[in-house]
Amino acid sequence: MENFINFMMQEIFSEGGLIRLKSLRKSSAAGVIFLLLILMSSTFIPIANAQRMVETVIFSDDFEGYEVGTFPSSGGWTLVWDGAGSRYQVVTSSHYHSPSKSFQLLGAYGWSSVAEKRFSTAARMIGFEAYMMAESYPQNPVSTHAGVGSVGFWNRDEATWGKYYVTVAFRADGYLVVHFINDAGAEEDIELQPYTPGMWYKVRVVLDRSANTFSVWINDELKASNVKITETNINGLEVSSAWAGVTCYFDDVKVFTVEEKAATPPTLTLYDPQVNGLTVTINGVATPGYSGASISRIHWEWGDGSSEDSPFPASHMYSNAGTYTVTVTAYQSDGLSVTKALQIKVEISPSPAIPTTPSASSPTFLIIFIVILIIFIIIACVVVLVLIGIYLRRRRAPPPPPPPPPPTE
């Protein structure tokens, strides 16, 4: 009967791809518990049409590869206007986000410092990310809304002084703003948050060029989303220090494309449950559906009303014998999940006899037996050799001296 059940279960599992049952036959060990798995249902619950965003870097620069005091021309940067003088528009080690250098710009009243790096892509969605810092608040700004320094998408050739489609800027009144040309063609600022001189801010903008909208993050916090913008003709990333004459620093700059791709759910493999009395232990493996995703948690419904989050392997003790459906769900970092269920039967069984001596078939016993046998043979050989030695020595012993001649008379 048991063989028949095993056979049936293997058939079921091989079709369902669920669980290997080879070790089940071993579980028929004496008297204790055995596990009967009869069913198995495998339920995948992907979220329909789930998408993930995949970034591809067009260029990035941490400004570590340049000599301090030089302009980063070799990285493809161009100095468009030289602000307070070209000697100030250089890679520096005085401030940096990573690991030892950044790019410094210093504008002057009436003459900004602007550097750009051009790029070209047909991607529908593009973005930029940069760390930026202002050394101080401006002393005598042209106006409270004057720019101090900025990073963003522009086109030098689209207007006399270049067209700034969407940039994140330090403003003279102490606000970090996103500056853009709105869908009516007018320049507009959205205040994002106050800034503090001497602090690095991570700024990020993603622009959808088919919808003409952008979203902006400061320090990974979304500050504005789906803001409408004029149609863009971007061909470069600019970094700048404006008329306020404040030294600004830029580091870890990158421009990237963003693509939507289908997200695939994780996969889940459950190994044969191990049952010991009323306790079941289940091991397995959960694998993310794609590179970049991770398994965030494994959730267990034990079928007796209790549930928990636990990594593999998980154990559970039931209060009563019976058949239970265990449901395991692996969740991925993007929220996608996969669920599998199996039935187990637990029984109260007599305490298993604890073997006090090794069984004759155990490898340990065989090793001990062989060692004892070898020692016995060695001792026996030694004894035999000693006896032979004694025998030979006696045979070779000199004959006893002849008896003394009889006394002559």
Q: Which is nearer to Ca ion, 46 or 75 (CB)?
A: 75
Region of 91-99, 129-137, 171-179, 362-370 interacting with Ca ion (CB under 5 A): 91-99
Region of 32-40, 57-65, 279-287, 338-346 interacting with Ca ion (CB under 5 A): 57-65
Q: Which is nearer to Ca ion, 62 or 238 (CB)?
A: 62
Q: Phi first, then psi: what are they for 402, rounded to 5°?
A: -60, 150
3-class state of residue 255 by DSSP: strand
- Which residues within the stretch 296-315 sit at the binding site for Ca ion (CB under 5 A)? none
Nearest distance from C-beta of residue 114 to Ca ion, angstroms: 20
Residue nearest to Ca ion (CB): 62
Residues 6 or more apart whose CB falls under 8 angstroms from that of 239 comprise 103, 105, 114, 115, 116, 130, 132, 149, 150, 151, 248, 250, 253
Nearest distance from C-beta of residue 209 to Ca ion, angstroms: 29
Closest CA to 80 of 110, 114, 104: 114
Tokens of 190: 């959205």
Q: Which is nearer to Ca ion, 238 or 251 (CB)?
A: 251
Report the C-alpha gap between 225 and 355 in whole angstroms: 69
Q: Which is nearer to Ca ion, 64 or 304 (CB)?
A: 64
Q: Which is nearer to Ca ion, 101 or 204 (CB)?
A: 101
Nearest distance from C-beta of residue 259 to Ca ion, angstroms: 27
Residues 6 or more apart whose CB falls under 8 angstroms from that of 284 comprise 268, 269, 270, 271, 312, 313, 328
Nearest distance from C-beta of residue 93 to Ca ion, angstroms: 9
Q: Which is nearer to Ca ion, 101 or 171 (CB)?
A: 101
Tokens of 175: 């606000």
Region of 69-77, 174-182, 237-245, 250-258 interacting with Ca ion (CB under 5 A): 250-258
Report the C-alpha gap between 282 and 286 in whole angstroms: 13
Nearest distance from C-beta of residue 101 to Ca ion, angstroms: 5
Instruction: Report yes or no: 10 and 21 within 8 Å, Cβ to Cβ.
Output: yes
Instruction: Report yes or no: 272 and 203 within 8 Å, Cβ to Cβ.
Output: no
Nearest distance from C-beta of residue 232 to Ca ion, angstroms: 28
Instruction: Report yes or no: 277 and 343 within 8 Å, Cβ to Cβ.
Output: no
Q: Which is nearer to Ca ion, 98 or 182 (CB)?
A: 98
Nearest distance from C-beta of residue 99 to Ca ion, angstroms: 6
Q: Which is nearer to Ca ion, 98 or 306 (CB)?
A: 98
Is 251 a binding residue for Ca ion by CB under 5 A? The answer is yes
Q: Which is nearer to Ca ion, 43 or 73 (CB)?
A: 73
Report the C-alpha gap between 88 and 245 in whole angstroms: 11
Region of 49-57, 110-118, 236-244, 245-253 interacting with Ca ion (CB under 5 A): 245-253
Report the C-alpha gap between 233 and 386 in whole angstroms: 105
Q: Which is nearer to Ca ion, 101 or 316 (CB)?
A: 101
Report the C-alpha gap between 8 and 2 in whole angstroms: 10
Beta bridge partners of 147: 171
Region of 79-87, 89-97, 230-238, 260-268 interacting with Ca ion (CB under 5 A): 89-97
Residues in binding contact with Ca ion, number by CB under 5 A: 6
Site string for Ca ion, 98-127 (x = CB under 5 A): x--x--------------------------
Region of 97-105, 141-149, 151-159, 361-369 interacting with Ca ion (CB under 5 A): 97-105
Q: Which is nearer to Ca ion, 96 or 302 (CB)?
A: 96
How distant, in Å, are the alpha carbons of 2, 146, 213, 230, 355 from that of 183?
75, 22, 9, 4, 83
Is 94 a binding residue for Ca ion by CB under 5 A? The answer is no
Region of 224-232, 248-256, 284-292, 377-385 interacting with Ca ion (CB under 5 A): 248-256
Closest CA to 126 of 151, 153, 150: 153
Beta bridge partners of 170: 149, 176
Closest CA to 37 of 75, 80, 8: 8
Taking 3-state DSSP, the helix, strand and coil percentages for the chain, each rounded to the nearest 5, stand at 15, 45, 40
Region of 96-104, 151-159, 227-235, 253-261 interacting with Ca ion (CB under 5 A): 96-104
Nearest 5°: CA angle at 186, between 182 and 187?
Answer: 80
Site string for Ca ion, 59-78 (x = CB under 5 A): ---xx---------------
Question: Which positions lie near Ca ion, rule CB under 5 A?
Answer: 62-63, 96, 98, 101, 251
